[in-house]
């Protein structure tokens, strides 16, 4: 089942919206009455002001706190302009899991969140240099696009965003970043990171 089939079978009123970069979609410990399905763009999800992971096309916002009146467990903010479809949570949970196909689609989206928490927990056990290397590889594998012996990361993944995700202080991050540029492991072209692929 793909996103469009899932949404068609929900039988809910969908509203297409555009969210500007920096928009807070959901705040930690506050109620959110909508579920959002991302069509394009990137968001981060945070707990205690630390980025726990990222959301992009086909991901759903508002599914951890799916019950009516439940407070959000994280803050979700757009990193780019995001186009999304949204619908009210009221009564939606029953529609999301009332067939095996919809249940599978819903839980596969939920599993992406959970896997990112696991990935980040593993990354945080490493030294700062290893954290940065693993994080760049993870982002490149998930969101990057191959280009002439390198993998280009979307512009949403700035040095400050990556530093927050791997929980490295800004000064240390800029030092490691410069070192990686000097050693030829990454390149920066107009604010966009290129990860150099080892041959």
* Each residue's pLDDT tens digit, 159-169: 999 999 999 99
82-88 and 34-40 beta bridge pairing: antiparallel
DSSP secondary-structure letter at 121?
A: H
Instruction: Please tell me the pTM assigned to this model.
Output: 0.88
Report the phi/psi class of residue 193: left, alpha or beta, with left for phi > 0 and alpha for psi in -120 to 50: beta
When the pLDDT of each residue in the chain is averaged and rounded to a whole number, the result is 89
Among residues 70, 6, 64, 61, which one has the least CA distance to residue 34?
A: 61
Same domain, 9 and 104: yes
pLDDT at 68: 59
User: Which tens digits make up the pLDDT trace of 35-49?
Assistant: 999 999 999 999 999
Domain boundary among 123, 141, 156: 123
Tell me the average pLDDT across 85-111: 83
Same domain, 171 and 98: no
Range of the domain at 145: 128-196
DSSP secondary-structure letter at 130?
A: H
Phi and psi, residue 166, nearest 5°: -90, 0
Same domain, 174 and 191: yes
CATH number of the domain encompassing residue 49: 2.60.120.10
Same domain, 113 and 137: no
Same domain, 139 and 104: no
DSSP secondary-structure letter at 84?
A: E
CATH number of the domain encompassing residue 156: 1.10.10.10
User: Which tens digits make up the pLDDT trace of 137-161?
Assistant: 999 999 999 988 889 999 999 999 9
Number of folded domains in the chain?
A: 2
Same domain, 95 and 142: no
Contact (CB, 8 A) for 51 and 108: no
Helices 170-182 and 159-166: crossing angle in degrees, nearest 10, is 120
Domain boundary among 62, 89, 123: 123
First to last CA, the chain: 38
pLDDT at 199: 46
Contact (CB, 8 A) for 135 and 165: yes
């Amino acid at each position: 089942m793909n996103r469009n089939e899932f949404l068609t079978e929900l039988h809910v009123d969908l509203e297409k919206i555009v969210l500007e970069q920096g928009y807070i979609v959901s705040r930690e410990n506050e109620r959110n009455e909508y579920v959002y399905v991302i069509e394009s763009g990137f968001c981060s999800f945070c707990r205690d002001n630390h980025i726990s992971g990222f959301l992009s096309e086909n991901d759903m916002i508002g599914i951890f706190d799916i019950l009516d009146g439940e407070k959000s467990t994280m803050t979700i903010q757009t990193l780019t302009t995001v186009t999304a479809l949204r619908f009210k949570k009221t009564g939606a949970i029953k529609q999301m899991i009332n067939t095996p196909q919809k249940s599978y689609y819903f839980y596969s989206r939920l599993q992406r969140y959970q896997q990112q928490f696991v990935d980040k927990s593993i990354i945080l056990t490493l030294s700062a240099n290893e954290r940065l290397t693993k994080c760049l590889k993870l982002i490149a594998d998930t969101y990057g696009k191959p280009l002439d012996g390198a993998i280009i990361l979307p512009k949403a993944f700035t040095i400050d965003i990556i530093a927050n995700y791997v929980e490295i202080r800004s000064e240390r991050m800029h030092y490691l970043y410069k070192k990686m540029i000097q050693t030829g492991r990454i390149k920066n072209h107009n604010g966009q990171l290129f990860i150099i692929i080892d041959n």
